[in-house]
Homo-oligomer: A and B are copies of this chain.
Amino acid sequence: MLDTVYVNDRFLPSGAAQLPVSDLSILRGYGVFDYFRFAGGKPRFLDDHLARLQDSIDALHLELKVTDRGLTDIVHELIERNGGGDGGIRIVVTGGLSADGYTPTAPTLLLLGYPHLSPPTERYAMGCHCMLHHYERQLPRVKSIDYLEGIRIQPLLQQRGAQYPLYVDRDGLVRESDRSNFLIVHDGSLVTPYEDILLGITRKHLLKLARQLNIPVEERAVSVAELLGADEAILCSTVKGALPITRVDGKEIGAGAAGATTRKLMQAWAEYR
């Protein structure tokens, strides 16, 4: 974590940043968050992230008193206090301190800075391996702090030689990964689910970029069969950008290496602002 964080209404050294044990995140997992990068001291897609955070806050009926303008100012000051450069910022909003251990009060606000972390470079070259896993995120449109299943299956992923899960719903549709959206390339089109997923900011901009590159885009459900038969497959997230998927449950996708469309998107993404 970077040296300086923001808790409720003040900047603190990260080592001193603590929450009382009656916070509803600790007692009841009740909270939402968002995460964005900053590069050269400037936050990326901040308006998108703050808009999504507000939607998450509203879904949990929390009433954060800080405005978007206020949050934006805090973000810029936090980046500056941490010396600018490159990194990531997590904004967490919880149900606050609760005397009865259940009823939300004034929300707790956290802004935490992190060094910039990407997956290892070779993973972009060789692609990543995914494991299909039956699971549906609750409140899929909400970026809640609920990662019970994503974290719980990490040992299983390791056993299977996979790096990321792909969640399959009760209808056999592939929805999303634990912290990423996913896309496939099928007959030259980029196809990605829209319903019942977290609408990623990277996903949004990657689709915009694809349209600029004249790659046809379809937002629709994707079945397991369609994924396994895809020409190419991609994970995308704020941390990952666009990362090729070359194996799912041990089966090669496409040629088993990043395909032409994926490489084109990855290249263009590196320049995208």
Number of copies: 2
Residue A19 interfacial (CB < 8 Å): yes
Q: Which residues of B contact A121 (CB under 8 A)?
A: none
Q: In the complex, how many angstroms separate the beta carbon of A41 from the nearest chain B beta carbon?
A: 22
A59 and B154 within 8 A (CB): no
**CB closest chain-B residue, reference A12:** B21
B17 and A26 within 8 A (CB): no
Assuming the contacts A60-B148, A149-B138, A151-B102, asked whether A25 and B26 have C-beta atoms less than 8 A apart, the reply is yes
Tell me if A's interface is mostly helix, strand, loop or mixed. mixed
Q: Annotate A90-103 by CB proximity to B: 1 below 8 A, 0 otherwise.
A: 10101100011111
A95 to B146, CA, bound (A): 13
Assuming the contacts A21-B7, A21-B110, A146-B146, asked whether A152 and B61 have C-beta atoms less than 8 A apart, the reply is yes
Q: List 12 A-B contacts (CB under 8 A).
A: A21-B110, A24-B151, A28-B145, A29-B31, A30-B151, A60-B151, A60-B152, A61-B154, A101-B114, A102-B151, A135-B138, A144-B148
